[in-house]
Amino acid sequence: MGVLVGKSAPDFTAAAVLGNGEIVEDFNLHSAIKGKKAVIFFYPLDFTFVCPSELIAFDHRVEEFKKRNVEVIGVSIDSQFTHNAWRNTPVDEGGIGQVKYTLAADVKHEICKAYDVESEGGVAFRGSFLIDEDGVVRHQVVNDLPLGRNVDEMLRMVDALAFHQDHGEVCPAGWQQGDKGMDASPEGVAKYLGENSGKL
């Protein structure tokens, strides 16, 4: 349990509200993300407190994810109808507006259990999962309920994974797009640290 990194992301089919506002009964993860990277993020409940700030933060960066060919999917235990109502509630009234990514309805709690993010209270912790083009989880982080996540950090992880895939090098601490990577060898470590240890 717990760590899904290195394993296939659990597939699911669920009702959802798509980014264009369409309500569907059979959104399937593997079909939706085939050949793409994906970010799946779990949050406790619609119409709550920290949650709208996170969903709006994802929406403000959704074009950056799209540029990187990354599908963004939010999941909570609310129904597709509650998701839709929240999307149709203005931001200044506690809503999230017309977010441009899919919100899946995990009313039976099967998805949050499969990803092992269900809290004792039944809602999902703030779990975030980065999935590669082969459907393998490459990064995950799970926050407790009061702690909002950093969406820019997920973008950084997307960039780091793409850099590793493109160049074969590994990404040292604090790596940002445009930084040098490190050859995964004793010589590569020595060279990188010799040039960059003061910046760490």
Kindly name the residue from 15, 40, 51, 130 that is annotated as catalytic: 51
Q: Which of 11, 10, 18, 14 is nearest to 106 (CA)?
A: 14
Place of tokens 């780091």: 160
Q: What is the DSSP string of 116-160?
A: T-B-TTSSBPEEEEEE-TTSBEEEEEEE-TT----HHHHHHHHHH
- Does residue 171 carry a catalytic annotation? no
- Which one-letter DSSP state was computed for residue 8? B
Per DSSP (E only), the strands in the chain are 13-17, 23-28, 37-42, 70-76, 102-105, 126-131, 137-143
- Residue 161 structure tokens: 């994974």
How far, in Å, CA of 37 to CA of 166, rounded? 14
Q: Which of 114, 163, 142, 118 is nearest to 7 (CA)?
A: 114
The count of other CB atoms within 10 Å of the CB of residue 183 is 15
- Catalytically annotated residues: 51
